[in-house]
Structure 1
Amino acid sequence: MRRIGNLTAILIFLLFAALCGADISFTASVDRTTISEGEQVQLTLTLEGSGISGAPQPELPPMPDWDILGSTSSSSTSISIVGTKMESRVTRNYIYALAPRKTGTLTIPSVKINVGGKLYSTQPIDIEVVKGAPSRQPSGVPGGGRQGGQGKAGEPKLSSEQVAGDKVFISAWASKKKAYLGEKITVEFWLYTRLNVAQLSISKEPKMTGFWVSPEFTAKTLDYQTKVINGIRYSAALLTRYSIYALTAGKKTIEPMELVGVVQLPPRDFFDFWGRTEQVTIRSRPVEIEILPLPEANKPADFTGAVGDFMISASLDKTEIKTNEAFTLRIEVKGSGNFNAIQEPKIELPKSFDKYESHAQEKGNAKVFEIVLMPREKGEFVIPPVSFSFFNPATEKYRTVSTNPIKINVLQGKELPAPPPGIYTGTKEEVQVVGKDIAYIKPNKTRLSGPSSFVWIDIYYFAVIPLEILALGLAFAVKRRRERLITDIAFARSSRAYSKAKSLLVQAKRESEPAKFYSAIYASLFGFIVDKLNLPSCSLLEDIICNLRERNFNEEFLSNLSSFFSRLEFARFAPRADEKVERNKVLKEASEILKILAKGLK
């Protein structure tokens, strides 16, 4: 008996612990927020969680503005199995019919319930009671449902002048309504519905003229979650999320997204048992954003347009470095902001170091530059700090960050292969002072050759001299080119533009996701033009077309180019059924456009 008593106590303790630690929510919603005098409003209190089996029924507080006409309740249980663990979740709905006692703005007060010793409460709900027919309520924007009196952090909030009343609508939300040029803005499009919807498709993409647009998320299937806006319960699903960066200052507009689909309408009366379906077009509202120019005061000389909050670091891929052996200097710019505007920082290198092609790529919240270097002399060297300047919109100030200096001890490595015959490569050690200006040669007549050998020496001499001159000229030209690539940014961008564009086309061919494929094509052509013309990477397409027109490109080509860029933008968000055929066609067309651009921008 004592053992049974102990087991009972343990079970009661575990049940109590499960009840106290359960994930419980308590929310209130109404079927509408505007009614006419004499109509009713339906209040639904929803208690949901895995430990509410012993929870009491909520008690309504005093409501002097309302008459309670009746009430009912319902309960449902869902069971899910995750691995070897089975979880059950209970949902209880307490439904009340309320009638207003007067007109005006009436409040349904907060309702409280005690579950397992913890108090949960709903949010108050305002109801507009008007004389005559109720007015139609405008569409809302995303808002967070309330649980235990607190909303989820980070969710979009409903503005005070907007009330959710439509049964199906799209909401456009922007993380900032005022931002600086080049500052990151997150834009989301949400579907809110109180009806069953099907066969949804995007009929019109949201245009974001004047922004660099980077798609972050596109829903393949709609993942609904419950949200309560001004007391009305909706099923909400995120459709798309973008990161956008303004290219010019001024007032900008994010134009509406448009969907078409089929909704199932509720029954009109008792005989309309199944209800009916109707095809609808759903549009979001435009979003206005004010873009502020970057301040001119205190702008660093090396500022190239980066906006955000960053840090910079430098490292080497080797701990032991030898002469005539390549190693990689890795510069990492890490943080949050517009990585597209970050260019390779200027690096001061020791004179005996040769710099080769660099490679840049984005990795998560960082942009990494990998620069291949090769030392020609042994000794101890220092790569000075590498600086990087950006504008921080949070502090509204420019900031310059730098890497630590890197000390390098270069050891003697393998010697380079011997030069071809006839090319002299003397060293400094071979030149010695003999103490006299002229040292006369005393020939030994017995060792002089006959005239026949002189002919062959003469031929060999005149054959080798031009090769020596050519080799010296090539070496001088290569050195000048390397120096110019380091000091002349415009020349470096122009020289590397074609290989960079071709590389992006090859990368696009390997991409399996349509959005990444079309983004790579866009970046290839757009990047080639701005690099050849030495324009900022955040230039507008209209400005680029004007620059190409000044370079005598014909109007037909410019019109086709502008149309091609528009097709790429649209295709990123609306892939076609014959996607494989279309991608091959786009890739071929992009290659032809690149050839024409390369020929005209020599």
Structure 2
Amino acid sequence: MRRSAFFIRMFALITAIPAAWGTTPVRAQEISASINTTQALMGETLIVQVQVKNPKQASAPEAPKTDDFEIQMSGAGPQQSSSTYIINNKRWTDVTYTYTFTARPKRAGRLVLPPFRFREGGAVFATEPITVQVSRHIGGELLLAEVQSRLTRAYVGQPVDLTLEVWVKQYERDGFRLDVSDMWTLLMRNQQLNSLGVFEKVATPKWKPGQRTDEAGKTHEYFVYLLETTVYPERPGPFDFGSIALGMNYPITLRRDVFGRISIDRDRVVQVTAKTPSLEILPVPTQGRPADFNGAIGRFTVTATAKPTEVAVGDPITLTLAIRGSGTPLERLSAPKLANVSELTKDFDVPLESPAGEVEGDRKLFSVTLRPLREDVTQIPSLPLSYFDPDTEKFATARTKALPIRVKPAEKLALPTQLGSPGDARPMIAQPTEATEGLIANFTNPADVLVNQSLSVGPAGWSLLTACPLAYVAAWLATRRLRRLASDDKVRRSSQAYGTAKRRLASGANDDPASLRTALSAYIADKFRSDGTGLTRAEAVALLRARGVKDELVSEVDRLLEALETAEYGGGLAAQDAKDIGPMRVRAIIDTLETVRVR
């Protein structure tokens, strides 16, 4: 019996070995962490690499939360590596994902970096904690950064000058001394450690020498790099400077090779986050905002010239406006909204499109074509340029001088008696043509003449006789309407309001809230016969109520105008706003208002 049991066990063992050879080994999941140094200085950035082996799904491990370190994952994705093993004719592969984190000590002392964790399938894998000895740096900070701003608050669209000061301690040790160019090269070498936020497009910095005193009272030399830029805030609220962090591999020791070239022997990673000032951005006020306001922030002057100054009714006059000032850069300055100036539109045909303008030296020129509507027009009126002065926090208006012009009646088509020179004018008399066939006989028999010659009109004749008076009445009504339109500017604008609004919407940018707001307010002014073409939001609402428009529709128009004003002076339409206040919404409101009868 004992022998039988022994042989049975041996047989089971022998048969199990081939089965094991035919099975693919299952690789275990692991997580581990390593750090570039366990001896660090305050201000030094430590590099932590976390390796996750054989995950079923690649996902970043969780960084620990601690009061001792500021931990962030590097912006670059994980590095993937694989290792293949063959043992006893069996093959398997380990896949490892390496994630890089930065850890900056917040205080000196013996600190512990807590475990990083990786979760998968309900299981939690953790690294071992890492102990780091952090000491205070003796000899002053190696790297500092701070953003400077003269203003603590500004308005949307107002230019704000910013300066990023970067202080780098000059390296001088063991006979080596790095100059201003060397230190800047070291600062910009490791792009993974640097992000410049709103200063990203600054190519070359200025610099100046600087000195700082350490805790022991010793003075140290620094290079102070100055990055300057001007920003134009687009939205109200705290200004977003972006992520501004600077880092470098600051040398501990240098060495010189056999060719005399200097290289870094040992270094430490130093990274700082720039201190940013408090900068609050305010919206441009809506109360008291002139109808011709085009978003200009600062202080400006405007002059005007016109050529020619003697024209006939309907002939073109080129009006050129020259704008000078400080604040909004001339390149970003929009043309004045002349179509909203009622003093101009009542006497001239003013184009709806805004000219692009051209910068010449210290001024920006805008040229538009005006056409006088009547021969009694004697001048181009004084034209406004409204702007918002952030120093006084009030709207102000600069004006051009009125320009005298002479308007003649439009030329009429010359009659035949008016052709040629005045002295030679003679009536044109047609020469008679002699009839060669004489009188054609009509009736030769008197009895035929006495026969009843009554005329039968018929249906076609009656239709013609009826149509003639109707055509006369229609022509009279059309003529009366044309005369009324010519004599009454309000009636003419009201009849053309819908078509004018559609052209404005088609000519403006779909994402430009200023064009959309102008199209809607101008339509309301034209359709409901306002004295002026440019209406503020409050004036538009008051006009609709005075014309008997229903309160629900008036409230809807008010909300839309308010949203467009907010978008106009707050950076434009966002993607999520396009449906609510975009061109389709404005067109829908105009279509609804078009059904309202004006009283």
Shorter chain as denominator, the TM-score bin is: 0.3 to 0.5
TM-score (norm 1): 0.42
TM-score (norm 2): 0.42
- Structure index of larger Rg: 2
